[in-house]
Every structure is written in C-alpha cells, then in structure tokens.
Chain A
Amino acid sequence: MPDPLLSMRGISKAFPGVQALSEANLTLYRGEVHALMGENGAGKSTLIKTLTGVHQRDAGEVLFEGKPIKPAAPLEAEGLGISTVFQEVNLIPHLSVAENISLGRQRSRFGFMQWKEIRERAERALKRFDVEIDVTQEVCSYSVAIQQMVAIARAVDIDAKLLVLDEPTSSLDENEVEELFAVMRKLCAQGMGIVFITHFLDQVYSITDRITVLRNGQSIGEYETAKLPRIELISHMLGKPVDQLADTGSDGLSRSEAASQGEAWLEAKDLSKEGVMSSFDFEIRKGEAAGLAGLLGSGRTETAKLLFGILKSDTGETSMAGNSVGNPKSPRQAIARKIGFCSEDRKREGIIPNLSVRENIVLALQARKGFINTISRQEQNRIADKFIKRLRIKTPSRETPIRTLSGGNQQKALLARWLATDPDLIILDEPTRGIDIGARDEIEELIRELQKEGMAVLLISSELEEIERLCERVWVLRDRQFVGELSDEEISEKAIMSLIAHSDEMEGSDEAES
C-alpha cells in the first residue's frame, strides 16, 4: 500500500454534555472515493469538521501527506489543499458563476478587479468537468446540479488534494447524479482523494472504493466496498450483528382483533411528491401500531409530512373511513381530522422555546378550537397538570419556559401537546431519540397504552428493536420508496434489514416480501 493521503487517528471531540467522537479513525488514499457512513449522531459531520478546521479536536492526530496538521479555520484547511462542498450549495446566488468561483481569492491589480482573468479562470476550472456554461450569468439561474458543479469547481480550484462531499446528491435527479459521479471519477484519476457522505446505499456501491463506518462517535471499521455485502454494512451502521439477529419477532406480537378487522381509519393511495417521495400506499386502522423503518434519509419523515399536510402531495387520494376526503393541505386540516404529528426535530419543529410548558401543551388544542373558543386559564392549568402527572414531566412548574427542560421532558411535553387534542392517529417521528433510557421506556409504555385505548400509532424509528417491540405492521423504506411491508410474525430486525439492503441485483428478498 502506498502512503495514505490522509490519516486521522484516535480523534476525540466532546461538546458540552456529549462525547461526539471518541477515538475515531479515517484513512484515505490518493485517487479513491471513500464513503463515510453512519446514522444520525454517529459523528460523521463532527469528524469532517475537525478535519476542515471548523472544530478543534480534543485528542488524536491528523497526518495529511505525511505531515501533522491542525487547521484552526476552514480557510487554513483550504490552503493545505482540503476542500469541502456541503449539502446546501454554499454559493452566493446573485453573483455570477465566475465571481463565485474566485470569491475570496480574486485577483486585483492596484485594487481593481481583473475581470478577464477571473472569467478565464472560472471557465478553465469548469472545463475540467466538461461543463461549458456562461460564467457571467448569475449562479441562481442554473439548475441545482450545475450549481453543485460550480461549488465543486470552486472547491478544487485552489489546487485541492482532498475533497469532502457532504451529501452532494440529495437534491439531484438520477442523470445529474451520474454527471456528478463522472466528475468525481475524473478528479480521482487526477490523484485526488474524495470523502463522500451520503444516505443513498446504491450510490455508495456504485462509486466508492472503500467505506468507513462510524457509530456513536466511534469507528466501527474500514471495509472495501466490493467485499462488504449491503446487509453487513447496514448491520454495522445500526450496531446489529447479522448472525445474532432472530428471524422472527421475539414477542410474537400479533395484531389485536379489533385492528385486523374492520376498515382502515385512514387510507392514502398513490401519494407522491416529485423529488421528495415516490408514490406509495398507506393505511392504518384504529388501535393499530404501525411503523416506518429505513435508514436516515430514506423518506420516513417525508412520508409522515405528506400524511400530515406539511408537504403537499402531487398525486393520490386520501380517504377516511372509506370516504374520499382529499389530501391534507395543511397541518391545520390534518389536526381537524384528528391526526397528530410529533416531529423528530424537537428544536426547530417542536417546542416554542420561550413559552411555558402549559402554553406548549395547550397550543395545538387551542389552535384547533380557533380564535374565539378560548380554553380558560383554569382549564389550561388542569390539562397541563394532568399531562405533567400522567407523563411524569419533570418541570419546576407548569409556567417554566420549555427550553429549560431536558430533552426527554421536552419530548414528553410535545407528546402531551398532541394527546391533549385527543387524536385518532398520532405520528411519532423518532420519539425516543436523544433522550435517556428511563424516559424512553416510559414513552414506549405510553405508546402501548394509547394503542389499547384505540388510538392508531404510526412510529418512525431508527431503532429496529423499538419497531419490532411495538409495531404490528411495518413499511420498509429505501431511497424515498416503499420497498416492502411486513406484518405480525414477519417483523424482525433481520427481515427489515434485508429489505433495506435489497437491491435489484441481490437475491433472497422473496421470503421477506411474501
């Protein structure tokens, strides 16, 4: 083996309250595309940020071209030859392509810009990728794919030796992805090393040479892509050894009688949204606990948002109790239909940080009642106290601002917000992520109780055991598609994982789908 281009050894990084990385490793050779894989919170972005100087590592060493480096800022890393392209294109939309490419390193003579030189340089940079466009046009007038190319051109314009691509493909269509891959191969052929972060397994297998898997801030291993079956990759990412997986669900949970009979309470046919989700069918009965399983970015949250009216479906038909009602146009409409949605992004889409626990709990109920029908203060206090007691929300008082509560207690308060509306269907997106074990058990217990009371529960979770323990029916998603449905005894971690891993050229999926 030649000397590696980059060698990161024993990298540790702690943030207040979290050990984001502990002794993580990454080795990259010249001319290879290296996938950095891991679920949410695995430490991918922290590792990249310590490499590019956004964060300073607490421990460990980084050798770049054999020399130890410790960049203090992204600009310093760029100077060393390490460039990054982030998921959201980091360009200035209303400047021209040429200006964007040379931004921060423009040539000037006596303080005047050398426009001709800047233009030629931009054209040269893009020509490397066979992209020929008018570089004097504004960046925002081009497609996202072209913008992505411009961002990469900007990144490699400074004699980059190492390029980090952080989810560059999430907004590209198939052809555009192919174009990007062609560029990546070209750059590799020129001796560049590329770190590629993506959620799409197919892309990992079509472009990368090797894979590093991170989980909970630790390196799980380094693998050659061609020699690592998909199911093993997934098991490394999720932390479930394949050989230890039971084939059948351990609890032998079977659908309650009420749930398996009768018609669907909510039925959605052929919902889809261009660029977000491929068409899918969905149905749920009262008292049923269903799950959506899949890796991060597989379309689980998007499915929930389509069902809840946050995203508007392009196609399809929603019906309730057999009657067609039209797809929900807004969360308000979904709430009026007695649906609740507890978002995975507590901070951005959940809590109203400076309002009290009481106000956060009554918000959705009051919103459904509208402007006139006021819930009296006494009634608000009663509702808040009831849920604080029932869900054991630890808070100094019901008037405490919710932002001061711990994550688990914020989550319980958000659950209370939805339970207060007495929904018939509650969608829980990662309800137990980032909260302590005790609160997690309590939330699982609560889900069982709600189901017994006749509520339909749709659970989204990266924790396959959680899905297996709680759900009677599971839809498995991959790359923004529904790829399989399991029910009752069929539900097992292994069955779910093989559906996630399944691709056209793989075998052994029949049993899982039957």
Chain B
Amino acid sequence: MKQSLKSSSSLIWPLAGLGLLLLFNAVFNPSFFSISIVDGNLYGNLIDIFRNGSITMILALGMCLVIATGGVDLSVGTIMAITGAVVAIIYQSDPDTSLFVALLVALGVAGVAGALNGALVAYARIQPIIATLILMVTGRGIASFITGEKQIAVENDAFGYLGTGHLIALPFSMVLVFLLYGLMVLGVRKTPVALFIEATGDNEDAAHFSGVNSKMIKLLVYLVCGLFAGLAGLVETSNIANSDPSQLGIYRELDAIFAVVVGGTALSGGRFSLIGAIIGALLLQTLTTTLYSYGVDSALSPIPKAVLIVTVCLLRSDRFRKQFTSLYARKNVA
C-alpha cells in the first residue's frame, strides 16, 4: 500500500502538468473536450490524443525498461523505419500476404535489431549511447536499401486496421497501448524481472554479486524495446499507408526518452514507472494537440514542448524546488 502511494507521489508533477493543460483548454476552448460518435466510433480531441500519442506510448514502454537499467536506446526511430520498410516490401511482392506472416517477419527483424543492441551493450560492454547510435545511423541506410531507396505505398485492408481501425468504438492503436501496458505489468511488474531490472540499474555490481544475471537482463530489455519499436513502426506505417525510410519514425526516440524521464524514471537507472511513461507520453501529445487546435504552426511546436519538458523536470528536482521556495521565502521576508 505504502509502496503504491510512494510511487504515485513521483507522478504528481507530470499529472499536474497534464491537469493544467486540460484546465487551460477547458477555460479557453471548451469544444476541446467534445466527443462525437460517427459510425459507432468515438471521435474528438481526447481520442486523438490517445490515437496520435500511441506511437510515443508504445516506444516509451520499451524505452522505460532500457532506461531503468541505466541505458538508453537511440535506435527506436530507425527500427520503426526498418519494420516499415520490411512490411512494405512484403506487401509489394505479394499483396495477399496474410497479416500474421507480415507481422511475424517484421517483428522478427525488429527483435533481431533489439537483440543486437542488447548484445553490444551487455556482452561487448559498449556504452549504450554508442551501441544504439550505430543502429540509429546505419539502420536508416538499411531501410532505404530494403525499399530500393524510395517510398512505397502500403495499401492492404487487414494491415490498415492496425493504425486506422476501431475496436469497441475506440481507435485500435489506443486499445493496443492498453493491451501492451497490461502485458508489461503482467510480464515485468508481476514477475521478478522488475526487481532484477531495478537492482541492475541501481547498483549493477551489487546485483551481480547477489546472483542477478545482469547481462541477460540487459539483453532482454533491449530486445523488448526493439520489439515495441517495431510494433510502433507497423502502427505508423499502417496509419499513413506509406513507408518512407528517410522520414518514418524520425526523432521519435527523443519523444520516447522525454516521456520516460518526465514520467519519473531517472536516466541514471533504478526505479522505473510504466504508468509514468504513459503519462509522460500523454502530456507531450496533449500539448501537441492543444497547439494544433489553436492553429500554431507545427514547425513552432517544439518550442513550447521544450518549455514544458524543462518545467516538469525542474519541478521534479527536489533541489530546485527547495532553492525556488527558499528564494521565494527570502523575497517575502525582505
């Protein structure tokens, strides 16, 4: 009980940011909250936030585990591009390929990419930033090579359902996020894996001396992160019905890292919060959607995004809060 209270207290700041944004919209743009039903499916800004944010949420779930071990995976955006390219070439060669086969092959490639990252970090002991930077850079070349250096349209109804379909009135990608989150809670939080990840990230030597197979754990988290990135790439490709190896998933790794850090998982590793990663991603997407609804040029949106991230990170820092409040107190005295 106490545990859940404590971990939720670290979520106060991103939740406060989210609440503030929603409040802002409630006051200045009440139509922001309107939800309409078209053909039995729900539409509206709130639904859009989940649907458009699903890519970042899926990436953040995988990234969260990697960051908890004290690492980082810069290659997730590129892995998205690779799976997009793989699935595009599969449907191009045979438009009637079953969805199951297409997904299996594409995710298999993503899993191999993730495992490669993991092996470089865990067994070759290359620093995570460098190890994943290798794939981040070369992977785009691989993706371009797969598609023959051009964009490929992906038009297959079964595959299109991933990014544009609806399930029980909700966008399928939103349902997918819920499913993945549930899977992570069951597969990681409810098993010893979470303990091993947190122990490895918090004090790797001590974990190793206690018999934790830290190398295996690291390999595993990069593998999972790669798989989730692959899934995110498929959802995105399906959504835009097109695979562009030079653009698909570009800069997505940064959004994912922001979401995880804003959600209360320290880059230094240790304790992690899956729900925090989801909330962090929601916060980013809510801001983007809010700006969009006010007609702010999308080229300018990174600026308020940066302000938001810095603010939440500063609020999270005990030291900053203390200095800030003491400054405030001193002013009042004077």
In the complex the two chains form, is B209's CB within 8 Å of A366's CB?
no
Chain B residues contacting A29 (CB-CB under 8 Å) are none
- The complex places the Cα of A120 from the Cα of B207 at a distance, in Å, of 49
Give the interface residue-count category, chain A: 20 to 34
In the complex the two chains form, is B202's CB within 8 Å of A375's CB?
no
- The complex places the Cα of A331 from the Cα of B2 at a distance, in Å, of 33
- The complex places the Cα of A367 from the Cα of B207 at a distance, in Å, of 9
Chain A residues contacting B203 (CB-CB under 8 Å) are 348, 351-353
- The complex places the Cα of A336 from the Cα of B202 at a distance, in Å, of 23
In the complex the two chains form, is A374's CB within 8 Å of B270's CB?
no
- The complex places the Cα of A350 from the Cα of B203 at a distance, in Å, of 9
- The complex places the Cα of A310 from the Cα of B205 at a distance, in Å, of 10
In the complex the two chains form, is B195's CB within 8 Å of A351's CB?
no
In the complex the two chains form, is B209's CB within 8 Å of A349's CB?
yes
Give the interface residue-count category, chain B: 20 to 34
- The complex places the Cα of A374 from the Cα of B195 at a distance, in Å, of 11
In the complex, B295 has a CB within 8 A of chain A? no
In the complex, A267 has a CB within 8 A of chain B? no
- In the complex formed, the residue of B with least CB distance to A370 is B192
In the complex the two chains form, is A366's CB within 8 Å of B271's CB?
no
Q: Encode contact with B along A347-372: 1 for CB under 8 Å, 0 otherwise.
A: 01111111110010011101111111
In the complex the two chains form, is A352's CB within 8 Å of B193's CB?
no
Nearest-Cβ distance from residue B96 to partner chain A, whole angstroms: 39
In the complex, A19 has a CB within 8 A of chain B? no
User: Which of B73-81, B210-218, B277-285 binds A?
Assistant: B210-218
Q: Could you say which of B2, B193, B207 contacts A371, with CB atoms under 8 Å apart? A: B193
- The complex places the Cα of A323 from the Cα of B181 at a distance, in Å, of 49
In the complex the two chains form, is B191's CB within 8 Å of A374's CB?
yes
- The complex places the Cα of A370 from the Cα of B196 at a distance, in Å, of 10
Number of inter-chain CB pairs below 8 Å: 82
Max count, chain A CB within 10 A of own CB: residue among B198, B202, B206, B211: B211
- In the complex formed, the residue of A with least CB distance to B220 is A371
In the complex the two chains form, is B202's CB within 8 Å of A354's CB?
yes
- The complex places the Cα of A397 from the Cα of B2 at a distance, in Å, of 9
- The complex places the Cα of A399 from the Cα of B271 at a distance, in Å, of 13
In the complex the two chains form, is A352's CB within 8 Å of B205's CB?
no
- The complex places the Cα of A207 from the Cα of B22 at a distance, in Å, of 75
- Given A356-B3, A374-B192, A399-B2, decide whether A368 and B206 contact each other with a Cβ distance below 8 A: no
Nearest-Cβ distance from residue A414 to partner chain B, whole angstroms: 9
- The complex places the Cα of A238 from the Cα of B212 at a distance, in Å, of 37
In the complex, A219 has a CB within 8 A of chain B? no
Q: Could you say which of B190, B191, B192, B206 contacts A350, with CB atoms under 8 Å apart? A: B206
In the complex, A196 has a CB within 8 A of chain B? no
- In the complex formed, the residue of B with least CB distance to A336 is B211
Chain B residues contacting A352 (CB-CB under 8 Å) are 198-199, 202-203, 206-207
In the complex, B208 has a CB within 8 A of chain A? yes
Chain B residues contacting A343 (CB-CB under 8 Å) are 206, 209
In the complex the two chains form, is A331's CB within 8 Å of B209's CB?
yes
In the complex the two chains form, is B192's CB within 8 Å of A366's CB?
yes
Q: Could you say which of A331, A353, A372, A397 contacts B210, with CB atoms under 8 Å apart? A: A331
In the complex the two chains form, is A355's CB within 8 Å of B198's CB?
yes
- The complex places the Cα of A98 from the Cα of B191 at a distance, in Å, of 55
- The complex places the Cα of A399 from the Cα of B6 at a distance, in Å, of 10
- The complex places the Cα of A485 from the Cα of B208 at a distance, in Å, of 32
In the complex the two chains form, is B205's CB within 8 Å of A355's CB?
no
Q: Could you say which of A349, A356, A397 contacts B206, with CB atoms under 8 Å apart? A: A349
Q: Encode contact with A along B95-124: 1 for CB under 8 Å, 0 otherwise.
A: 000000000000000000000000000000
- The complex places the Cα of A353 from the Cα of B203 at a distance, in Å, of 7
In the complex the two chains form, is B193's CB within 8 Å of A367's CB?
no
In the complex the two chains form, is B192's CB within 8 Å of A332's CB?
no
Chain A residues contacting B3 (CB-CB under 8 Å) are 356, 399
- The complex places the Cα of A369 from the Cα of B195 at a distance, in Å, of 13
In the complex the two chains form, is A355's CB within 8 Å of B199's CB?
yes
Interface of chain B residues 262 through 297 with chain A (CB within 8 A): 270-271
- Given A367-B196, A371-B192, A399-B2, decide whether A354 and B271 contact each other with a Cβ distance below 8 A: yes
- The complex places the Cα of A355 from the Cα of B198 at a distance, in Å, of 8
- The complex places the Cα of A331 from the Cα of B213 at a distance, in Å, of 9
Chain B residues contacting A370 (CB-CB under 8 Å) are 192
Interface of chain A residues 293 through 336 with chain B (CB within 8 A): 308, 310, 331-332, 335-336
- Given A354-B271, A375-B192, decide whether A363 and B212 contact each other with a Cβ distance below 8 A: yes
- The complex places the Cα of A368 from the Cα of B212 at a distance, in Å, of 8
Nearest-Cβ distance from residue B175 to partner chain A, whole angstroms: 28
In the complex, A480 has a CB within 8 A of chain B? no
Nearest-Cβ distance from residue A22 to partner chain B, whole angstroms: 33
Chain A residues contacting B209 (CB-CB under 8 Å) are 308, 310, 331, 341, 343, 349-350
Interface of chain B residues 181 through 240 with chain A (CB within 8 A): 190-193, 195-196, 198-199, 202-203, 205-213
Chain B residues contacting A359 (CB-CB under 8 Å) are 195, 198-199
In the complex, A286 has a CB within 8 A of chain B? no
- The complex places the Cα of A342 from the Cα of B267 at a distance, in Å, of 29
In the complex, A417 has a CB within 8 A of chain B? yes
Chain B residues contacting A355 (CB-CB under 8 Å) are 195, 198-199, 202, 270-271
- The complex places the Cα of A417 from the Cα of B199 at a distance, in Å, of 13
Chain A residues contacting B6 (CB-CB under 8 Å) are 399
- The complex places the Cα of A369 from the Cα of B192 at a distance, in Å, of 9
Chain B residues contacting A366 (CB-CB under 8 Å) are 192, 195-196
Nearest-Cβ distance from residue A381 to partner chain B, whole angstroms: 11
In the complex the two chains form, is A372's CB within 8 Å of B211's CB?
no
Nearest-Cβ distance from residue A384 to partner chain B, whole angstroms: 12
Q: Could you say which of B190, B198, B206, B210 contacts A374, with CB atoms under 8 Å apart? A: B190
- The complex places the Cα of A137 from the Cα of B199 at a distance, in Å, of 41
In the complex the two chains form, is B199's CB within 8 Å of A349's CB?
no
Chain B residues contacting A353 (CB-CB under 8 Å) are 202-203
- The complex places the Cα of A417 from the Cα of B3 at a distance, in Å, of 20
In the complex the two chains form, is B206's CB within 8 Å of A348's CB?
yes
In the complex the two chains form, is A363's CB within 8 Å of B210's CB?
yes
Chain A residues contacting B213 (CB-CB under 8 Å) are 332, 367
- The complex places the Cα of A372 from the Cα of B206 at a distance, in Å, of 21
- Given A350-B206, A374-B190, A374-B192, decide whether A367 and B212 contact each other with a Cβ distance below 8 A: yes
Q: B residues engaging A (CB < 8 A)?
A: 2-3, 6, 190-193, 195-196, 198-199, 202-203, 205-213, 270-271
Which 3 residue pairs spanning A and B have beta carbons closest together?
A: A367-B211, A335-B211, A364-B210
Q: A residues engaging B (CB < 8 A)?
A: 308, 310, 331-332, 335-336, 341, 343, 348-356, 359, 362-364, 366-372, 374-375, 397, 399, 417
CB<8 Å pairs between A and B, sample of 27: A331-B211, A332-B211, A332-B212, A332-B213, A335-B210, A341-B209, A348-B205, A348-B206, A349-B205, A349-B209, A350-B206, A350-B209, A351-B203, A352-B203, A354-B202, A354-B271, A355-B270, A359-B195, A359-B198, A366-B192, A367-B196, A367-B211, A367-B212, A371-B192, A371-B196, A374-B190, A399-B3
Sample of 11 further A-B pairs with CB below 8 A, known A366-B196, A399-B6: A331-B211, A335-B211, A348-B205, A350-B206, A355-B270, A359-B199, A362-B195, A367-B213, A371-B191, A374-B192, A417-B210
